[in-house]
Homo-oligomer: A and B are copies of this chain.
Amino acid sequence: MGKVLATKLVSVGHEVKMGSRSPSNPKAVEWAKKAGPKASAGTFGDAAKFGEVVFNCTAGMASLEALKMAGAPNLAGKVLVDVANALDFSKGMPPTLSVCNTDSLGEQIQRAFPAAKVVKAFNTMSNSVMVNPGLVPDTEAFLCGNDAQAKGKVVEIMKSFGWKRPLDLGDITAARGMEMILPLWVRLFGLFQTPNFNYKIVR
């Protein structure tokens, strides 16, 4: 997911540094080489330091640890777009969530990094859909977070990807609802045998 998002971000004009545990992560280095002069790779800390907007595209159950490696000072004041889902595959399929209902990954991250401006976004769709909204016309790109300006920045990015209906659900506690629709998503994926679908709210 990180690669797909990073490639799209480069394609719409951003400079992107892909962060990994190791600065010589072969996949990240190869991606940066292919993606051209606006792309680079480094540690989680390098990426967090580099970015005005930081995307958390790590596996949800490892996100807090990865963000700790990125470093709280490097995330302070930054827009931190949390794209992750805390899917727990340890009990087999279908996955469960390692946090939900009375809390969410988005809230955990906001609590752990209070100086970051966490915006939950893009977690309700596949990466193919995320960067190709034309596959699912007139559907919703949900987002939530505590900071209006940070959400404005994410809406701007969504629109640059082609999303016509970013839908702001309110403060970061709305991440519960956004994360808890994952089990439905997994069912629909099994049914349709394609990740290329999305939700439209009709009213």
Residues of A participating in the B interface, judged by any CB pair closer than 8 Å: 91, 94, 96-97, 100-102, 135-139, 142, 167, 169-170, 173-174, 176-178, 180-181, 183-188, 190-192, 194, 196-203
Q: Find the B residue at minimum CB distance from A173.
A: B94
**Closest-CB distance, A132 to chain B (whole angstroms):** 12
Residues of B within 8 A of A198 (CB): 201-203
A176 CA to B94 CA, complexed, in Å: 11
Contact B202 A200, beta carbon cutoff 8 Å: yes
Interface of A is mostly: mixed
- Identify 20 new A-B residue pairs, CB closer than 8 A, beyond the known A94-B173, A170-B187: A91-B102, A97-B101, A100-B100, A100-B180, A101-B101, A136-B202, A137-B202, A138-B202, A142-B184, A170-B190, A170-B191, A177-B183, A177-B186, A180-B183, A181-B181, A181-B184, A192-B203, A198-B201, A199-B201, A200-B200
Q: List 17 A-B contacts (CB under 8 A).
A: A94-B173, A97-B101, A100-B100, A100-B101, A136-B203, A138-B202, A142-B184, A177-B183, A177-B185, A180-B180, A180-B184, A188-B201, A194-B203, A196-B203, A198-B201, A200-B200, A200-B202
State how many angstroms separate the Cβ of A6 from the closest Cβ of chain B.
25
Chain B residues within an 8 Å CB radius of A167 = 191
* CB atoms of A177 and B170 under 8 A apart: no
Copies of the chain in the assembly: 2
Q: Write out the residue numbers on chain B whose beta carbons fall within 8 Å of the beta carbon of A94.
A: 173
Give chain B residues whose Cβ lies under 8 Å from the Cβ of A181.
177, 180-181, 184
Inside 8 A of A186's CB, which chain B residues have their CB? 177
Residue of B nearest to A191 (CB): B169
**Closest B residue by C-beta to A167:** B191
Residue of B nearest to A174 (CB): B187
Cβ A201 vs Cβ B190 within 8 A:
no
